[in-house]
A and B are shown apart, each in its own frame.
Chain A
Amino acid sequence: GEDVEQSLFLSVREGDSSVINCTYTDSSSTYLYWYKQEPGAGLQLLTYIFSNMDMKQDQRLTVLLNKKDKHLSLRIADTQTGDSAIYFCAEKIGGKLIFGQGTELSVKP
């Protein structure tokens, strides 16, 4: 079946690294995504990784994919207060995106 799980909350101090984790159950996913939702806004695509990759780096963002364990993580280096948001992981299965519950990241000064 299709299921994507995330923890609901994460709190970090400004300047620290944040690591947001996600597990999924369907091994047929082709792409995995991270979206960011700021308060009162829709979702913006942050980054994505193709399922045959292990890692992708994009400036402060590092995505790690462990396909064997069906585990995806998003690391944000030097976290800033502007990174406070809800982060959703999603897997693409066929033509559809299946979303996790979202992790609310709170960055304290």
Chain B
Amino acid sequence: KAGVTQTPRYLIKTRGQQVTLSCSPISGHRSVSWYQQTPGQGLQFLFEYFSETQRNKGNFPGRFSGRQFSNSRSEMNVSTLELGDSALYLCASSSEAVREKLFFGSGTQLSVL
């Protein structure tokens, strides 16, 4: 079974731009969560999607948004990028039977210049 796939792997943007990151979960997994990882703050929860609906949300500004498609693939979008948005963005999928067992992708490393 293929793992969680995140694209792109690396991204360089400038302040004020927007960015869209993509995540394909493990086949059969319908829950997708997004996390931001920085050296200073560690791993912080952004949001969770299940069946195309946002089920949980972390404490991030409205510039961070996401969506999930009918095939469970998910995208997250960050608008009006700030220098502080530079981070590793991780996506994780899980099955509904064992929601707490997360399988993470390798992440998208975003650098904002």
A is bound by B: no
Residues of B at the A interface (CB closer than 8 Å) are none
